Amino acid sequence: MRKKFFIYGFLLFLIVAAIYYYFKLGFLLLIILPILLVIGIFNSIQKKHAILRNFPVLGYFRYLFEMIAPEIQQYFIERSTDGKPFSRNQRSLVYQRAKNIDSNTPFGTQLNLNVRSYEGIKHSIFPAKVNEELPRVLVGGPDCKQPYLASLLNVSAMSFGSLSENAVRALNIGAQKGKFYQNTGEGGLTDYHLEGGGDITWQIGTGYFGCRDANGNFNPEKFKEKANLPNVKMIEIKLSQGAKPGHGGVLPAAKNTLQIAKIRGIEPHTLILSPPSHSAFSDAKGLVHFIAKLRELSNGKPIGFKLCIGNTSEFEAICHEMIAENCFPDFITVDGAEGGTGAAPLEFADGVGMPFEPALIFVNKTLSGLNIRDKIRIIGSGKIISGYSILHAIALGADMCNSARGFMFSLGCIQALRCHNNECPTGVATQNKMLMKGLVVTDKSDRVYHFHKNTLHAANELLAAAGKSSFADVDSNIFMRGDEFTSLSDSYFPDNLSNITNY
């Protein structure tokens, strides 16, 4: 191809030169062709890119198509029910509810219902009255001195650093309007989380950002100072997250600005990998003692932890240690292997951790089997994006739900899949100031508020359609599979859970 490029390139240049000489036409080509030939010569001798070496100019089209491949896939190839992690229909639902416009669809479902993968609600012939009041859940166990009345749906953990400052501010202002909480993510509690006046769940990750000493270890005094701020309603210890369990958080160097480095107490413009595990504890007993320590330092605020289930015996050991120490978390957040993230190694995202549904069932059954379920709230955090997904999570054992990508869509996220390279085109997941300006806080905070309100209203409508008047009455028996008239409880309990009933 290189030989053809130079042969045809020089011939074409001679032809264009002759045409210009005799007819005074093609002046622009006479300028462009030598430039292309020079580029071709350079590419043919460079040794880093095989495609450009073999195809000196045409090879650039390969990189162009690779760059716009997600957009081509999304806008020209995907059907409405396609798209990963979320389909076009799912994204459209969030956009419509966030804009507070009609989210109804015409002409019936586009799904194939007569397959086992389909799940539907067993509606009642005599539906209940739809409750117009948005549901709330009280969080606070026997040792909690400051219980918190939380919304049924809240903003899941997303750090400033992963998200832009405008995105964090819009989420917090929306949370204040809708009276729900925003989880800070492990990147620390910042002024952007506080200035909107919204409720906060402060997440403490393995890097202890915002409450670390010079060596990166947990600093009790710094924690105490922030944990007792009035906006901070709950504290969550992050053990692991679904997209990269056992790995620790990732902040790409391109997103580690001077501002973020100062907040986190780290070196700017460097790749930041949070440790895989905590330095403050290393086993179940240590975790339980750490929970008690944070509860004391925060003057009795709800303390919980977040994890993706892996080795089930380790979670059981934590539960037995809670009982032995008579110290229980106020909540446990269950994430699934399909969870989202701003950046993760592909092997971890695709191949580590238990999916959300069996994990949620396992945690619920384990706590129930040990007779401690009533002391602990379970928060489901796995692709929660609609009223249906909320009801589904509650049926499998959750008391309430967190959503990350749902609220990102409400901010304008288009699933461009550029969260990790600082090039988010909507200004949601970037530290690029120019891109960030596209996200107008006043407009997007309203969309956050409307998405939350309309989604919970949809959950209330589904609850009523099932003939229920309270979410406490929801269990797996209100769902059925597409190819059988049986409840989810007949299908969803894996064999390795059978020993739980023996506790």
Predicted TM-score (pTM) of this structure: 0.84
The pLDDT value given to residue 2: 67
The pLDDT value given to residue 32: 78
Share of the chain above pLDDT 90, in %: 53
The pLDDT value given to residue 49: 80
CA distance 391 to 374: 20
Average pLDDT score, the chain: 87
Going from N- to C-terminal start, the domains of the chain cover: 2-67, 136-502
CA distance 111 to 83: 14
CA distance 138 to 149: 4
Per-residue pLDDT for 289 more than 80?
Answer: yes
- Of 252, 285, 281, 286, nearest to 269 by C-alpha is 252
- Of 130, 268, 150, 247, nearest to 199 by C-alpha is 150
Please classify residue 397 by burial: count the beta carbons closer than 10 Å to its beta carbon, then call 0-12 exposed, 13-18 middle and 19+ buried: buried
Angle of CA points 312, 158, 431, to nearest 5°: 140
> Do the strands 272-273 and 250-251 form a parallel or antiparallel pair, or are they unpaired?
antiparallel
The pLDDT value given to residue 406: 92
The pLDDT value given to residue 36: 78
Per-residue pLDDT for 6 more than 70?
Answer: no
CA distance 208 to 186: 7
Please tell me which residue, 174 or 61, carries the higher pLDDT value: 174
Q: Which of 85-94, 338-347, 439-448 has the highest mean pLDDT?
A: 439-448
Structure tokens at 334: 């269950």
What band does 91 get if pLDDT is binned at 50, 70 and 90?
A: confident
The pLDDT tens digits for 373-417 are 999 999 999 889 999 999 999 999 999 999 999 999 999 988 888
The pLDDT value given to residue 285: 97
Question: Beta partners for 267?
Answer: none
The pLDDT tens digits for 133-156 are 999 999 999 999 999 999 999 999
Give the end-to-end CA distance of the chain in Å, rounded to a whole number.
71
Question: Beta partners for 234?
Answer: 201
The pLDDT value given to residue 111: 77
Please tell me which residue, 399 or 486, carries the higher pLDDT value: 399
181, 377, 393, 472 from 469: Cα distances, Å = 25, 20, 17, 9
Region 66-91 average pLDDT: 76
* Percentages of the chain per state (helix, strand, coil), in multiples of 5: 45, 10, 45
Per-residue pLDDT for 493 more than 90?
Answer: no
Please tell me which residue, 24 or 118, carries the higher pLDDT value: 118
Please tell me which residue, 258 or 454, carries the higher pLDDT value: 454
- Of 464, 502, 459, nearest to 151 by C-alpha is 459
CA distance 209 to 226: 12
User: Which DSSP symbol is given to 255?
Assistant: G
CA distance 229 to 223: 10
Please classify residue 72 by burial: count the beta carbons closer than 10 Å to its beta carbon, then call 0-12 exposed, 13-18 middle and 19+ buried: exposed
Region 53-68 average pLDDT: 78
The pLDDT value given to residue 1: 65
The pLDDT value given to residue 503: 45
Identify each DSSP E strand in 400-502 by its residue range.
Answer: 400-403, 479-481
The pLDDT value given to residue 21: 64
Structure tokens at 5: 């490029």
Per-residue pLDDT for 112 more than 90?
Answer: no
Q: Say yes or no: domain 136-502 is CATH 3.20.20.70.
A: yes
Region 454-476 average pLDDT: 95
CA distance 160 to 271: 15
The pLDDT value given to residue 348: 79
The pLDDT value given to residue 53: 77
CB atoms within 10 A of CB 383: 22
- Check: CB of residue 273 under 8 Å from CB of residue 246: no
Angle of CA points 462, 489, 454, to nearest 5°: 20
The pLDDT tens digits for 212-233 are 898 889 999 999 999 999 999 9
CA distance 447 to 453: 10
Share of the chain above pLDDT 70, in %: 91
The pLDDT tens digits for 337-357 are 888 777 777 787 777 889 999
- Check: CB of residue 379 under 8 Å from CB of residue 364: no
